[in-house]
Chain A
Amino acid sequence: MTNYQTIDEANRAVADKIVASAPFLLDVVPAKSVIAELNEGKVLLHAGPPIKWENMTSPMQGSCVGAALFEEWADNEDDARAMLDRGDVTFIPCHHVDAVGPMGGITSANMPVVVVENRTDGNRAYCTMNEGIGAVLRFGAYSEEVVNRLRWMRDVLGPVLSKALQTLDEGMNLNVIVAKAIAMGDEFHQRNIAASLVFLKEVSPIIVSLDIDEKERQEVIKFLADTDQFFLNIMMASAKAVMDGARMIEEGTIVTAMCRNGENFGIRISGMGDEWFTAPVNTPQGLYFTGYSGEDANPDIGDSAITETFGVGGMAMIAAPAVTRFVGTGGFGDALKTSNEMLEIVIDQNPNFTVPTWDFQGICLGIDARKVVETGITPVINTGIAHKKAGIGQIGAGTVNPPVACFEKAITAYAEKLGLTV
């Protein structure tokens, strides 16, 4: 280490940056306009640490098929698969290009992405928009309906939101929305309805005043009103922007990213920069829609665990009593226990986001990989559950824990970097 004397000091500095961060939603733009790599041939972004096409689980592959159809690289599933099998498409983890993607995380050139800037460091992060529930691309569905919705989001929703956001001088202050919604019962992973409503409250007066087609105006408002999880993707981009700002301090053992690709769970820690530490993913435990069970569940996927990395989601379980039942069959007590237990693996609590149901304690701040290894307590991640077969989509929701091996590898690598001979 060069700037700090002890790991604790370095970790404190990383945590201070998280607390000081100021994420603003600036715009909604086609992904290719902000992510240069998407312009170099057929390129798809995916969730999690790097993965090969042949190792992707079926829903992630399904998302790729959907994206290929959406980008009109093929006009039917067979051709799209053949193309992907041939290796015509280059894959890049979202995280490598300042982005995050929910579930499969498949992001293509013409999909609109939200642009969030962390004002304290000037860095930006991107995420596709939430498509709603049911048959949706992120869970591996790629039917005509799915692709058509993506087109509408590209042609109508994206441009309308962009116009609306352009009317704001500064962009939209996301910390304010998060602080409000956490008091309204959101934990920002499983439950985003309050934040989605606050977002709607902010943009609807603008949208109704825009000079746009009346039908489009009506469609956009309706879509935002219907989409309970709309804010999730904004939260993900916000958390990514904050964590990327914080990890500019390349020292210490604070976890700066957690993500999954269906094959591996990957984490980064501040002291090891861009390096991924991976181990095989677990399969979520949870509640299933009728007709489905744990047997149908796809192994854990998605970059959405960036929310837990920031301190919300499962880490803030107590903020959202409404979703606590996903922990098991327990209620408030279990949620309290979960968040209290999470306090054991973080270095502090974030005073910006206090939780009323937690006696106004701040959300968890700064997962310390050392503490995870020391205690064996791993972060609790709230997550949706995809069917393991492409095309079916979401079949339930629940929680999942990262494999502790990721954290063990990370701290061992860091100790070696600092001079320990193992």
Chain B
Amino acid sequence: MLHTIIKENAYQDSVVLMLLTNKVSTIDGVNRVSIMMGTPANKDIFGTSGLRTEELEAASANDMAIVVDTEDASKIDEILAEVDAFLASQATKESSNTTETARTWDKAMKLDSDANMALISIPGTYAAAEADRALDEGLHAFIFSDNMPIEEELRLKQKAHDKGLLVMGPDCGTGIVNGVPMAFTNVVKPGNIGIVGASGTGIQEVSTIIDRLGGGVTNAIGTGGRDLSETVGGITMLDAIAALEKQADTDVIVVISKPPAKAIRDKVLALLRTITKPAVTIFLGEKPTYHEANLYHAYTLEETARIAIALAKGEAVKAVETQIVKPEIGLTPEQKHIKGYYSGGTLASEAAMLIADALQLKEGLIKQDGYILKTEGHEVIDLGDDIYTQGKPHPMIDPEKRIAFIEDAANDPETAVILLDVVLGYGSHEDMAGQLAPAIKDVIAKAKAAGRELAVIGTVCGTLQDPQDYNEQRQTLETAGVIVKDSNNEAVRTGLALVGRTVEEADKAIREVESGEAAPILEASDAMLDLLAKQPRVINIGLKSFAEAITETGGRVVQFDWRPVAGGNPELQKVLQFLNSYRAETADVK
């Protein structure tokens, strides 16, 4: 049966009324309903829908007409209430989120024409093209993406150098730009130490120790792992050192690298010998025996941090004897082996280096199937190695692989010590300790049941400001039975102490060094100084969480929702490439 309600002088836009009609028609017991203003044309539409009634004829263009087809007359009140509620709530309904994102470079640069850095975290095959564009737009590039051919890396870095820009990465996991974290980074207090590092977790370990020891960092510039290769020639590292030398807030420069190409290492040292600011280097895997005037050489990441702090405070650099407390754990005579399962590649390397050194292993560090060390029953694995992360999340996010290794090692009656790291900061799991704890508790209990004790020793790489709770993470690990140390260096030495070994360290005297290498020229462009001295203005191409971390810590960011050009169609990409680079040779230019 048709019911007609006329609300006089109740004008509403037709769109509102269509929305309202849709809403009301969902009420149970309503067969059909139409709500429109009573214009002649609308009356015709009522007619076509079979809802034209006699009462409707009286409605004017300024009256809202409601015609309901229902068997239950009591529904009318419900409908009217619904209508009133809908119209009343209209004005108060919040408009949807209007945060602007970009899908093209033009738009991104329009949204922040003052942007100075592109943070790129898209699939590696596309990263070079976007980095190229970033440089063309005058932006520094922070390339988180990996799998970029080294020739491309060289080309991009050469191009950046010529333009006075920095390319961080590819495969650069960590950076701090004037206090703002880039990619997987800890929240480190500001200070007067500048870091350049060809190693992501190396930067994390050094910067977090600096922070926890009361120091602070101006900038931490990741260069990517291949920067110090013969091919790339340390372009980014040399430029970054030059820039930090000129940057007013930086008093101390820290250089971190895994073993570099000899020629490039010498080039870096030659540059460091020419600068005015004191510097400390760590070329992981080398065991330096001396310091130079104003240039100090560290063996471990912890030592690097400690020297940097001493220099930052203007104190004399002394050898720090780490006091190792041997834990009260009784090992069986079979328990001889140390096994390290790391999510941080550099931490793994450091552990392997210390173990190989202390145990005087015949075979040193390797790089094979994720193993950094695998000899005489000892092993250290970098679970962040490509072979473990292909198609799987990084071990800083996903504990699964690591738990499997820990369980295997614990079942082995010859395992004495299991070493591990928990890396905090943006990008890492919100509770990695909590993820690992049950498994660790379990293996310790199982070993006990089998009549032996197991030493699980770990370190938490992080600061009190990190998004995760540093103290709580330590607490969780300790409750699970982990012996938690302040640094990876200390953790590894503690494990070594258990098997009766120590790492011998001689005092390093300051020595005069003849540099055969001519020092490269110090150049620092305005763009570089701007990057290091001001809050970064970032175009974030890829992972949205990186943008959130930047915003949270006071940086400025435009989110670029990147998709492959032309939906990834290679033929259309070729067409676009052709058209975009087309230059008419015969053009009679107007």
Contacts and interface: CB of A to CB of B under 8 A. Distances in A.
Contacts of B576: 370, 373-374, 411
A290 B51 contact: yes
Top 7 A-B pairs, shortest CB-CB distance = A290-B34, A291-B49, A333-B96, A333-B95, A287-B18, A134-B41, A325-B15
B569 to A, nearest CB: 8
Contacts of B50: 291
Contact of B96 (A291, A331, A340, A375): A331
Nearest to B100: A340
A36 interface: no
A220 to B, nearest CB: 18
Nearest to B565: A374
A415 B579 contact: yes
Interface stretch (B102-110, B252-260, B273-281, B380-388): B102-110
A291 B48 contact: yes
Nearest to A331: B95
19 contacts: A3-B590, A4-B590, A6-B584, A7-B580, A7-B582, A290-B21, A331-B96, A333-B98, A337-B98, A343-B110, A344-B102, A370-B580, A373-B566, A376-B566, A411-B576, A412-B571, A415-B578, A420-B575, A422-B574
B22 interface: yes
A209 interface: no
Contacts of B566: 373-374, 376, 408
Contacts of B513: none
A409 to B, nearest CB: 10
B590 A334 contact: no
Contact of B575 (A292, A325, A375, A422): A422
A291 B19 contact: no
A294 to B, nearest CB: 12
Given A290-B34, A333-B96, 8 more contacts: A2-B584, A289-B18, A290-B49, A370-B576, A376-B567, A414-B579, A418-B579, A418-B582
A7 B579 contact: yes
A326 B103 contact: no
Interface in B130-148: none
B10 interface: no
Interface string A333-375: 1101100110110000000000000000000000000110111
A341 B580 CA distance: 21
A330 B98 CA distance: 11
A325 B16 contact: yes
Contact of B19 (A13, A325, A375): A325
A1 B100 CA distance: 37
B253 to A, nearest CB: 42
B552 interface: no
Contacts of B48: 291, 392-393
Contact of A408 (B97, B572, B584): B572
A393 B100 CA distance: 39
Interface of B: 13, 15-16, 18-19, 21-22, 25, 32-34, 36, 41, 44-46, 48-51, 93, 95-98, 100, 102-104, 106-107, 110, 563, 565-567, 569, 571-572, 574-576, 578-580, 582-584, 586-590
Contact of A370 (B18, B22, B579): B579
A6 B44 CA distance: 55
Contacts of B104: 344, 371, 374-375
B137 to A, nearest CB: 15
A288 interface: yes
Given A7-B580, A331-B95, A331-B96, A322 B587 contact: no
A106 B1 CA distance: 40
A377 B51 CA distance: 41
B588 A3 contact: yes
A99 B588 CA distance: 33
Interface residues of A, number: 53
Contacts of B584: 1-2, 4-6
B587 A326 contact: no
Interface in A287-332: 287-292, 322-323, 325-326, 329-332
Contacts of B102: 344
A129 B482 CA distance: 83
B579 A2 contact: no
A369 to B, nearest CB: 9
A376 B584 CA distance: 27
Interface string A219-244: 00000000000000000000000000
Given A290-B32, A291-B50, A344-B106, A331 B44 contact: no
A253 interface: yes
Contact of A333 (B41, B97, B563, B583): B97
Contacts of A290: 21, 25, 32-34, 45-46, 49, 51
Contacts of A377: 103
Given A5-B589, A326-B15, A341-B103, A334 B579 contact: no
A322 B572 contact: no
A340 B102 CA distance: 9
Contacts of A326: 15
B289 to A, nearest CB: 57
Nearest to B15: A325
B13 A6 contact: no
Nearest to A422: B571
A355 to B, nearest CB: 15
A290 B18 CA distance: 8
Nearest to B35: A290
A132 interface: yes
A331 B93 contact: yes
A392 B398 CA distance: 60
A422 B95 CA distance: 47
A287 B41 CA distance: 17
A248 interface: no
A336 B19 CA distance: 20
B22 A287 contact: yes
Nearest to B585: A5
A135 interface: yes
A289 B586 contact: no
Contacts of B34: 289-291
B41 A133 contact: yes
Contact of B587 (A3, A337, A415, A420): A3
Given A4-B584, A376-B567, A334 B575 contact: no
A378 to B, nearest CB: 12
Nearest to A408: B572
Nearest to B96: A333
A219 to B, nearest CB: 15
Contacts of A376: 563, 566-567
Residue of A326, A374, A420 ringed by the most chain B CB atoms within 10 A? A374
Contacts of A370: 576, 579-580
A253 B19 contact: no
A376 B32 CA distance: 39
A5 B587 contact: yes
Nearest to A271: B579
A172 to B, nearest CB: 27
B583 A287 contact: no
A326 B102 CA distance: 23
A358 B323 CA distance: 65
A71 B571 CA distance: 50
Contacts of B574: 420, 422
Interface string A397-422: 00000000000100110110010101
A344 B103 contact: yes
A411 B19 contact: no
A343 B582 contact: no
Interface in A73-116: none
Contacts of B563: 375-376
A13 B574 CA distance: 25
A269 to B, nearest CB: 11
B15 A287 contact: yes
A326 B18 CA distance: 10
Nearest to A340: B100
Contacts of B589: 3-5
A363 to B, nearest CB: 16
A375 B587 contact: no
